[in-house]
Structure 1
Amino acid sequence: MTHPAHPSTVSPTPPRVRFQPDPGFHADLKRRVEAHFAACGRAPTGGPAMVFKTAVILAWFGGSYAALLAWGGASPGLAAALTLSVALATAGIGFSVMHDGNHGAYARSSRVSRAFGFALDLVGASSYLWRFKHNVQHHTYANVDGMDADVDASPFLRLAPSQPLRRHHRAQHLYAWPMYGVLAVKWWFVDDLADLLRGRIGRLPFPRPRGGELLALVAGKAVFLGWAVVVPALVFRSAWVAAFFLLGASALGAVLATVFQLAHAVPEAAFHAVTAGERRLPTGWAEHQVRATVDFARGNRVLGWYVGGLNFQVEHHLFPQVCHLHYPALAPIVEAACADHGVPYRAHATLRAALAAHHRFLRALGRAAPAAAMKGVCAAG
């Protein structure tokens, strides 16, 4: 894409930059995908298969939670196992249900999609704020330092070559993994409140929620605290409730953070830093999404089912309003279009390979100056 800028040249308040006009790549992609859905006679949103999947995940969550309340007091080991099951089911709700819902990909009806998007509020975070951070910022400016809040974990982690290199970053490939476990608690109790008070996410402003949106945000937090903290405390009446809450939150945070990092925080993904006075990014929007994103474990059906198709991140970034159940069928279509237009399409063959790539990425950015951090890999040639 472009060679990363030195931190001293990055604009402190990034402008609203635009992408280059589409040279035909995005239009061709859309034609091919539309032809696919026309040929198979299916809608791009979810259908009965998505409803069934949602029922399975919610049954997993509800069954685990009920079992925890009923038998969690029998032994610490059983309580821990059931807590982890609740946490993994909660992550499944996030990956598959709320994610498609908040992208408008769950159903043809925007109201139905929005209703399922509210699942995020019921598991602790604000769907209103998430839509601005994820749908607007991340899906527009993926891996653009200063405009994509997902690559800003300063000063703890260095996730972009243009960010300052600090001494403690030399060990980030080691401490990042347990640090990911803090994500959920920080998101629930710090980030949402801080974003509301500041009126901005990262360095970009957003309209604060009002009326029904504000009521939904507050109600969601209350319901979450009710089932996650108050009910277990009333049932068990033990200080161990706090310990198991933190155990579940840590497992949830680690799973969520790791899965989302594997698509963008890897050596093959391109990065860009907006400099002062810059008004246009080097490529068109669709090409930028492909260059900044890497698929992984596309042949692992079990993993793909659990993570809601997020192992097909290239397809998701190009077509976020398409239900994730369609991504395996779209992948070869997108890959062929990329080959025809000379756009690099990258994918790690396995989950293990993607995890290793993220480890290498963290280690490289923790030890090298910006110009040498990825040895040109992060810059599109």
Structure 2
Amino acid sequence: MEPIRVHFPGSGAFHLELKRRVAEYFEGVQISPRDAAWMYLKSAILLSWTVSAYLLLITNSLAWWLTPIAAICLAVGMAGIGVSVQHDANHGGYSRNRWVNRLFGCCLDVMGGSSYIWYWKHNIVHHTYTNISGIDVDVDIEPFLRLAPTQPLLRYHKYQYIYIWFIYGLLPANWHFYADYRDLVNSDIGGMPIPRPSRLVLIATLFGKLFFYGWSLILPLILYPTLPVLGLYLLTTFTLGTVLTTTFQLAHCLEETEVHVATTESNSVEAGWAEHQVRTTANFAPRNRFLTWYLGGLNYQIEHHLFPKVCHVHYPAISPIVEATCKDFGIPYQIHPTFRDALSSHVRWLYRMGRLEPVPVTELVPSA
């Protein structure tokens, strides 16, 4: 199958000016965009939280009725690591030291994912072709969900705004047992070919999977009855998937963000890459300090997409710079003031996508 190709014009005035202003900010305050002390402290807190919850479960230190609460605490800790620690590290935004990034990036492998697949699926495909249906796998979850106007409309999609939360919760189990292996074998993500891993990377990826199976299932199954172990696994992974997927979807699958469509023909985007990121992304709850801390700054998703190699602890500071630059260039900068506002917009978008109501869509322009 011929891969879909999409072309962006070269860096325009907006992108160049934006980079200049943000670089000027870091020079002015004389701090590094990475290796933030607060990030290392935060990592220690989240890792301690997660390990403590696991030890409480594996050592049977709690009354039986408290074990589901501990499993949820384990999931919440893992989600915090996912959106903060491994996310920054696998983007290269945690440290200037490549091996520090690699070390903390392996947290994803310990949690049952694959940092190798994540790099290509998230860093390359999603961050380059954001909200382009036909390439960005985050908006191509067919046939279960319809997240773009050009995708086939099936009868049961009218209920997707209700059942989608069940689909979101199954995401980690899909990573653990199917999707990562499929992508490794096919060497293809969203119609975009990815290189086959080297022997060392493949061994490291499979070792990460085995290590995850060991601590999450094999050891508990040796120590405890099967049904409680499987039940706690499902509770933990379902909670983890709900938190992770909702966080990412509230930034892109909304009424206000643009959706583009790619075809098998060669396509080009009229807006430059940076402008495309702003138009397909939205921030939410910027004044909620707890969410900003816990979600790894992903409520400042516009800043993250524009500067993925900047540690997320700096997003609140550079956000006014990005917003002002967007205003100067006439580019809409979307913000939902609260988490509830963003969630409501997401649900309304799901509701509309599940019906035949016409929705505006930006088609890519065929290249000459």
TM-score after normalising by structure 2 = 0.96
- For these two proteins, the number of residue pairs brought into alignment is 364
Change (3 A) 1:263 1:257: same
Provide structure 2 residue ranges, at least 5 long, that are not aligned to the other structure: none
| 3-state SS of 1:27 partner | helix
Partner of 1:351: 339
Partner of 1:242: 230
Find the partner of 1:28 among 2, 17, 39. 17
8 Å CA contact retained: 1:268, 1:378: no
Rounded to whole Å, the distance in 2 between the matches of 1:73 and 1:332 is 47
Partner of 1:16: 5
Partner of 2:106: 118
Stretch deviating more after TM superposition (171-180 or 290-299): 171-180
Change (3 A) 1:362 1:81: same
How far has the Cα of 1:211 moved from its partner? 1.9
Partner of 1:8: none
| 3-state SS of 1:245 partner | helix
How far has the Cα of 1:22 moved from its partner? 3.0
8 Å CA contact retained: 1:14, 1:276: yes
Find the partner of 1:261 among 249, 265, 273. 249
| 3-state SS of 1:357 partner | helix
Change (3 A) 1:154 1:72: farther
Change (3 A) 1:72 1:246: farther
Matched to 1:35, the amino acid is: E
Rounded to whole Å, the distance in 2 between the matches of 1:208 and 1:71 is 42
How far has the Cα of 1:377 moved from its partner? 7.6
Is 1:316 aligned to 2:338, yes or no?
no
1:267-306 equivalences under 5 Å are 267-306=255-294
Instruction: Output one character per residue of 1:231-286: Cα deviation in whole Å (capped at 9) or x when no partner.
Output: 22222234211111111111111111111100000011101112343331121000
How far has the Cα of 1:364 moved from its partner? 0.6
Change (3 A) 1:14 1:366: farther
Partner of 1:64: 53
Instruction: Output one character per residue of 1:197-235: Cα deviation in whole Å (capped at 9) or x when no partner.
Output: 211112111112122211110111011111111122222
Partner of 2:152: 164
How far has the Cα of 1:121 moved from its partner? 0.3
Find the partner of 2:95 among 107, 118, 123. 107
How far has the Cα of 1:21 moved from its partner? 2.8
Rounded to whole Å, the distance in 2 between the matches of 1:188 and 1:327 is 31
Find the partner of 1:226 among 214, 226, 245. 214
1:336-347 equivalences under 5 Å are 336-347=324-335
Partner of 1:80: 68
Change (3 A) 1:211 1:278: closer
Rounded to whole Å, the distance in 2 between the matches of 1:363 and 1:206 is 34
Is 1:49 aligned to 2:42, yes or no?
no
Rounded to whole Å, the distance in 2 between the matches of 1:203 and 1:14 is 5
TM-score after normalising by structure 1 = 0.92
| 3-state SS of 2:19 partner | helix
Rounded to whole Å, the distance in 1 between the matches of 2:362 and 2:74 is 37
Stretch deviating more after TM superposition (57-66 or 229-238): 229-238
Change (3 A) 1:274 1:328: same
| 3-state SS of 1:132 partner | helix
Instruction: Output one character per residue of 1:4-42: Cα deviation in whole Å (capped at 9) or x when no partner.
Output: xxxxxxxx8553221123330000000000000000101
Rounded to whole Å, the distance in 2 between the matches of 1:239 and 1:174 is 28
How far has the Cα of 1:66 moved from its partner? 1.0
Rounded to whole Å, the distance in 2 between the matches of 1:266 and 1:132 is 24
Rounded to whole Å, the distance in 2 between the matches of 1:180 and 1:49 is 30
Rounded to whole Å, the distance in 1 between the matches of 2:362 and 2:106 is 36
Rounded to whole Å, the distance in 1 between the matches of 2:62 and 2:15 is 56
